Structure 1
């Protein structure tokens, strides 16, 4: 029976027969750039759904609860399937599944552009959500594989593409969809075709680097938190993701309505204010991972959620200009959490990359979808202003970060 080898500082490492192949000498930026660009294209298409809510609301006389249900169908479809797809790819990696999954988004866009009934809109949203479920778990694994050991940087590059894509949705909606109407959504199916080509090329790079299932099982940590502590830590991380994306859903789904109601701005102007917030989210994501690599992920997680609390509390009482500034600050701070949370969870369970990636991306989508549905119902009953008064306290859940273990200390 092999025993752990002990190095000079007394930290145990796995025996040589179980150590995975050494990482590259540095990040593979071509692959990281490709997967980030694909994430950009994927989330650009997805972000068109909430960006055209004002159009759908006017065309089909929808109430806020029905608007929230569209988000719920999209987000829950993605969230429920992502962990299952991640578990399947842990067992058998599928290099070309990303290109195939993009086809669901392609057909979803075509369907929503021609939908004449509310039920067809829901089906289209479900198809786009299914495309997201296929994309995220395996692409997160590819980003880590191409990281060269700089895992936070790789996740930031990967995730910032998605956040910039989300930010582009309101701009494209303001410039194209609002003037040309719902049928113009079909034009964006060409983006899905471009993404399929890029992901097929990435799949060819990934295929010879697939880790067999037996080798992946040997990547379990030699030492670390107990199974109970691991489960509790994952639960805390999930609650933190819940607080982050529950609040974010109030902005991505209803911020345009809030600005139009409270300040009387036009639909196009409200979309541009939403773009400022989503652009700040993208910038915050880019910085969160590298900072976590340097100073520790626990500190980034702590600051990125709890640190937004003073600004979320001030938002419901601010003027239009100050609201825009506060939304940028909130986006910058909150967004820095996700790369750190995902890498922290991957290091907690390194033999379950796909499942962990699918769980956290999936829970993020699910929390956003549930939040959108609940906030829509609350907005119908109590008013849109009340929504921002109550959700302002969600970042206070960031206090739970104090219970996260130091993984480096646990390994020692």
Structure 2
């Protein structure tokens, strides 16, 4: 059984988890600003959606590029810099210097988010060692930040004048402090304390075939979760539940995602990552079917269960990707945290078009079947060998 992480490593993991919240709040903040931009600046729906698209594409699609850069040149200083850019971009939206300037400000925030994730996930794995608990806490921090974004936006914009806009930058200021990278000397000491180093070790080769299969699994997961989070409130309202009932279903979905993120690390310690991942996708199928066919009160329960099952694999897929590409951990983090996740957003218009042509329930039916594809793909994933405990120290020393 792996010994617990030393106290300094646990404290750094907690700090990075909180710092992740401070960054991901800006992923949710851009979408939460849309009603304000439409009502106060007379932006049309197309213009407002263009702003959200710019932020989401930059924050997701560009992540593998930053991951490749951090693999080639470890840049721990990029983490606090990216945190500052994410907050500054959203704050600059308040200048109201025209649509182009607003688009540029949101793009700056998106670039900050994109630059942060691969470098931070790589460093969390370095500080947290070869286990899965550190990545689970890191992922949970991001979920919390994203969920709190609407509350932050509503509270900040209730203040008169520019004060509210600069208040939106407050999480970034805190995040810069929390996301300070440890020194190479301290990271090496933490890594050495995580376990004894053997006399000699070889890093395994990159397994691109397994990584591509894993990427397909992450794409399927993204399509299912994004489709549910986009349309579940509308679906509940369509079934006669009203706006409050739709909001409750969406809250249940987000609450389940937070629980699943922590549960994944615990289940992986018992079953192994690959077994946990494919069992989780098998559990998604009845949960999504329950959302579509069970009576309304049970929809809330099924929403929480579906999100829990979809988020159990979330952090495990990040560490699996890193272990499949041990010499390109930044690239693996950028793909599993960014590029493949963005595909879910691209699939949402297709679900909407199918709902317009038939019905919303018919359009959502594939979301109950797609997890079977993820289950089949995940069953064929190899369980990578555990990373050498000495590797985090060596990686940090090179950074």
- TM-score normalised over the length of structure 1: 0.77
Query: Aligned-pair distance for 1:57?
Result: 6.0
Query: Aligned-pair distance for 1:100?
Result: 0.8
Conservation of the 8 A alpha-carbon contact between 2:25 and 2:148: yes
1:157 alignment partner in structure 2: 137
| Residue 389 in structure 1 maps to residue 344 in structure 2 | no
1:75 alignment partner in structure 2: 56
Of 376-385 and 138-147, the range deviating more from structure 2: 376-385
1:244 alignment partner in structure 2: 221
Tell me, which stretches of 5 or more residues in structure 2 are unaligned?
Answer: 190-199, 389-399
Conservation of the 8 A alpha-carbon contact between 1:109 and 1:124: yes
Conservation of the 8 A alpha-carbon contact between 1:24 and 1:146: no
Q: Which of 69, 86, 90 is matched with 1:109 structurally?
A: 90
After TM superposition, the structure 1 = structure 2 runs for residues 8-157 of structure 1, keeping only pairs within 5 Å, are 28-53=9-34, 60=42, 62=44, 70-113=51-94, 122-149=103-130, 151-157=131-137
1:362 alignment partner in structure 2: 338
Find the aligned partners of 2:161 and 2:173 in 1 and give their Cα distance. Answer: 20
Query: Aligned-pair distance for 1:394?
Result: 2.2
Query: Aligned-pair distance for 1:176?
Result: 3.1
Conservation of the 8 A alpha-carbon contact between 2:220 and 2:370: yes
Query: Aligned-pair distance for 1:330?
Result: 0.7
Conservation of the 8 A alpha-carbon contact between 1:168 and 1:275: no
SS in structure 1 at match of 2:62: helix
Q: Compared with structure 1, are the counterparts of its residues 386 and 51 closer, same or farther at alpha carbon in structure 2 (3 Å cutoff)?
A: farther
2:322 alignment partner in structure 1: 346
Find the aligned partners of 1:53 and 1:264 in 2 and give their Cα distance. Answer: 25
Conservation of the 8 A alpha-carbon contact between 1:171 and 1:271: no
Q: Which of 182, 197, 203 is matched with 2:181 structurally?
A: 203
Query: Aligned-pair distance for 1:128?
Result: 2.6
Query: Aligned-pair distance for 1:47?
Result: 1.5
Conservation of the 8 A alpha-carbon contact between 1:170 and 1:271: no
Find the aligned partners of 2:229 and 2:241 in 1 and give their Cα distance. Answer: 18
Find the aligned partners of 1:295 and 1:101 in 2 and give their Cα distance. Answer: 36
Alpha-carbon deviations, 1:92-151, whole Å to 9, x = none? 2112111111222123212444558766655444333211111111111121122244x2
2:395 alignment partner in structure 1: none
SS in structure 2 at match of 1:404: coil
Conservation of the 8 A alpha-carbon contact between 1:281 and 1:334: yes
Q: Compared with structure 1, are the counterparts of its residues 206 and 98 closer, same or farther at alpha carbon in structure 2 (3 Å cutoff)?
A: farther
Conservation of the 8 A alpha-carbon contact between 2:208 and 2:325: no
SS in structure 1 at match of 2:268: helix
Find the aligned partners of 2:93 and 2:296 in 1 and give their Cα distance. Answer: 33
1:406 alignment partner in structure 2: 383
Q: Compared with structure 1, are the counterparts of its residues 152 and 24 closer, same or farther at alpha carbon in structure 2 (3 Å cutoff)?
A: closer
Query: Aligned-pair distance for 1:329?
Result: 0.5
Alpha-carbon deviations, 1:178-206, whole Å to 9, x = none? 9779985653211111111222xx32445
After TM superposition, the structure 1 = structure 2 runs for residues 146-225 of structure 1, keeping only pairs within 5 Å, are 146-149=127-130, 151-172=131-152, 176=155, 186-199=166-179, 202-205=180-183, 209=187, 221-222=203-204
1:16 alignment partner in structure 2: none
User: RMSD of the alignment, in Å?
Assistant: 3.5
Tell me, which stretches of 5 or more residues in structure 1 are unaligned?
Answer: 1-22, 212-217
- Aligned residue pair count: 371
Find the aligned partners of 1:220 and 1:246 in 2 and give their Cα distance. Answer: 37
Find the aligned partners of 1:79 and 1:172 in 2 and give their Cα distance. Answer: 22
